[in-house]
């Protein structure tokens, strides 16, 4: 022990270090709960959310007060810090609920009758500070590095005079701790506090309380920032997916309307039939907004599309063969993923062939992966033009980009073509089982 430190002073300093360790540990543990992450991301909470928020703060720190009372472990009592945090981050009501929870053991077991009134004071002061603060984000800027943050704030305000909320919050916490120390000396065992007669020790107690309030704010704000980045990334992927899907619809509509316009004069009845098929396709697309659908629904959409194309080319020139493994129909696949591939096969493989050809659609599952292949026996493509398929045309490029957005590096796409023998495009994706359907609307890398 340092000769200049008495045993009580050294014990207080050790207690302060323990308090900071305890509050940092508890704050980190609480931040791991998904429900708590959602609560700190919301500033205007419903009554139920306020109660949940208060329980997240109150229960673990109430156990800390119990530990102090039963095990004589003063470093576990963080009643002032957590009540102030409840008021600052959740408002007066949350602060009052938290304060009553952590003061209840002190009143009932420790007979510290002033614990509850002081908790009300902490909650009212902190809740009022939150209420008058116009920018709630300023609360989340409160830092445990009090000396540096105060120095920067004061230096800034000398250049740009204005009310600095970081200084106000720090003064509020300091005044509340000083008030507890003064009242504690007057009433003795009726209120918990760390007794010390040394001026500098009292200064350290106040600074430790400031750091005890700032540490959880810093930890939980990091969680908020991570959540914001995730949401921004998700919105970016959503926008990208919407843009890719919007590429498909005009492309498909343009070709189908060309088919209808070519039939109107020579065969009005057939044109009417094709128009009805198109209306069913559009109606289904308007109803289904999910990015994933069961393969059987995707095949129904393809059937409507092929019905239009068969009318256009004739049944003798365009034949369709389906080679589907049993039970693959329930596997989730990206919506509108097959139609661009089939459209490319018809336009570039079958249409240039005088006697027409056959489109073969295969689906297999293997080791929790789904393989889908679209094969045509059309004119094919020479080797020197194979790389062009990835750089040109909306269809194959769109499919590749959508699979990249949805599956990251967990998909594979293969293209194989031989002049005079046809073209084959196949892709493999992770198998999305029925239990994952609820999350299939997310356009992010759902399989990462």
Q: 168 CB contacts (<8 Å, ≥6 apart)? A: 129
The DSSP bridge pattern shows strands 357-366 and 318-324 to be parallel
Q: What are the two backbone dihedrals, phi and then psi, of residue 116, each rounded to the nearest 5 degrees?
A: -70, -50
How many residues does the structure list for the chain?
A: 448
Between the alpha carbon of residue 212 and those of residues 142, 144, 177, 223, 289, the distances in Å are: 11, 7, 11, 18, 48
User: Which whole number is the average pLDDT over 313-317?
Assistant: 77
* pLDDT for residue 29: 93
Give the pTM.
Answer: 0.59
User: Which whole number is the average pLDDT over 313-333?
Assistant: 85
Q: What are the two backbone dihedrals, phi and then psi, of residue 72, each rounded to the nearest 5 degrees?
A: 55, 40
Looking up tokens 């602060």 gives 95
* pLDDT for residue 79: 94
Q: Is the separation of the CB atoms in 313 and 351 below 8 Å?
A: yes
Question: In the structure, what pLDDT confidence band is assigned to residue 443 with cuts at 50, 70 and 90?
Answer: very low
Q: Is the pLDDT of residue 285 over 90?
A: no
* pLDDT for residue 387: 63
Q: Is the pLDDT of residue 28 over 90?
A: yes
* pLDDT for residue 265: 82
Provide DSSP, 385-431. GTTHHHHS-HHHHHHHHHHHHHHTTS-EEEEEEETTTEEEEEEEEE-
Q: Is the pLDDT of residue 391 over 90?
A: no
User: Which whole number is the average pLDDT over 376-404?
Assistant: 73
Terminal Cα-to-Cα distance of the chain (whole angstroms)? 53
Q: Is the pLDDT of residue 74 over 60?
A: yes
Name the least confident of 22-26, 35-39, 231-235, 241-245.
241-245
Looking up tokens 């689906």 gives 363
Q: Is the separation of the CB atoms in 256 and 278 below 8 Å?
A: yes
* pLDDT for residue 197: 81
Strand partners, 333: 293
Q: Is the pLDDT of residue 350 over 90?
A: no
User: Which whole number is the average pLDDT over 106-128?
Assistant: 94
Question: In the structure, what pLDDT confidence band is assigned to residue 144 with cuts at 50, 70 and 90?
Answer: low
* pLDDT for residue 240: 60
Give CA–CA dist 406/427, Å, rounded: 13
Q: Is the pLDDT of residue 447 over 60?
A: no
Name the least confident of 274-283, 350-359, 418-427.
274-283
Mean pLDDT of the chain: 82
Q: Is the separation of the CB atoms in 300 and 342 below 8 Å?
A: no
Give CA–CA dist 29/216, Å, rounded: 11
Strand partners, 369: 366, 430
Encoded tokens for 445: 């890398």
Highest mean pLDDT among 195-199, 208-212, 246-250, 377-381: 208-212
If one compares 325 and 437, the residue with the highest pLDDT of the two is 325
Q: Can you list the domains of the chain with their CATH numbers?
A: 7-231 (no CATH), 267-439 (3.30.565.10)
Looking up tokens 């308007």 gives 286
Helix (H, G, I), strand (E, B) or coil at 127: helix
Q: Tell me which residue of 396, 281, 405 sits closest to 334, measured CA to CA.
A: 405
Q: What are the two backbone dihedrals, phi and then psi, of residue 292, each rounded to the nearest 5 degrees?
A: -125, 145
Give CA–CA dist 341/324, Å, rounded: 17
Q: Is the pLDDT of residue 438 over 60?
A: no
Q: Which string of b and e fits 302-313 if b means at least 16 CB within 10 Å?
A: bebbbbbbbbbb
């Amino acid at each position: 022990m340092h000769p200049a430190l008495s045993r009580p002073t050294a014990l207080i300093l050790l207690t302060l270090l323990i308090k900071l360790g305890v509050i940092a540990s508890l704050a980190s543990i609480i931040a791991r709960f998904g429900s708590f992450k959602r609560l700190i991301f919301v500033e205007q909470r419903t009554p139920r959310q306020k109660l949940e928020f208060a329980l997240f703060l109150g229960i673990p720190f109430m156990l800390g007060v119990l530990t102090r009372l039963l095990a004589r472990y003063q470093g576990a009592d963080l009643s002032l810090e957590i009540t102030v945090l409840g008021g600052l981050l959740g408002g007066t009501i949350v602060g009052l609920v938290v304060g009553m929870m952590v003061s209840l053991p002190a009143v009932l077991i420790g007979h510290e009758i002033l614990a509850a009134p002081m908790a009300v004071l902490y909650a009212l002061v902190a809740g009022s500070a939150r209420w008058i603060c116009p920018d709630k984000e300023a609360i989340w800027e409160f830092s445990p590095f009090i000396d540096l943050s105060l120095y920067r704030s004061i230096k800034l305000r000398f250049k740009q005079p204005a009310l600095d909320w970081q200084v106000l919050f720090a003064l509020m916490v300091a005044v509340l701790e000083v008030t507890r120390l003064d009242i504690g000396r007057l009433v003795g065992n009726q209120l918990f506090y760390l007794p010390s007669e040394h001026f500098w020790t009292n200064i350290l107690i106040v600074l430790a309380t400031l750091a005890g309030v700032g540490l959880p704010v810093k930890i939980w704000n990091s969680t908020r920032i991570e959540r914001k980045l995730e949401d921004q990334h998700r919105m970016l992927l959503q926008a990208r997916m919407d843009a890719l899907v919007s590429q498909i619809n005009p492309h498909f509509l343009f070709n189908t309307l060309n088919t209808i316009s070519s039939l109107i004069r020579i065969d009005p009845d057939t044109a009417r039939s094709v128009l009805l098929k198109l209306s069913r396709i559009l109606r289904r697309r308007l109803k289904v907004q999910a990015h994933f659908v069961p393969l059987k629904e995707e095949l129904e959409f393809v059937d409507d599309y092929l019905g239009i194309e068969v009318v256009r080319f004739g049944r003798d020139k365009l034949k369709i063969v389906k080679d589907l493994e049993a039970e693959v129909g329930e596997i989730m696949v990206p919506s509108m993923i097959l139609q661009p591939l089939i459209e490319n096969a018809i336009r570039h493989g079958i249409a240039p062939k005088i006697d027409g050809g056959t489109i073969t659609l295969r689906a297999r599952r293997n080791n929790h992966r789904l393989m889908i292949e679209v094969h045509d026996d059309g004119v094919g493509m020479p080797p020197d033009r194979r790389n062009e398929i990835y750089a040109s045309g909306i269809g194959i490029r769109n499919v590749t980009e959508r699979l990249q957005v949805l599956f990251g590096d967990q998909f594979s796409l293969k293209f194989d073509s031989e002049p005079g023998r046809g073209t084959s495009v196949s892709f493999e994706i992770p198998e999305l089982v029925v239990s994952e359907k609820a999350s299939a609307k997310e356009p992010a890398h759902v399989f990462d």
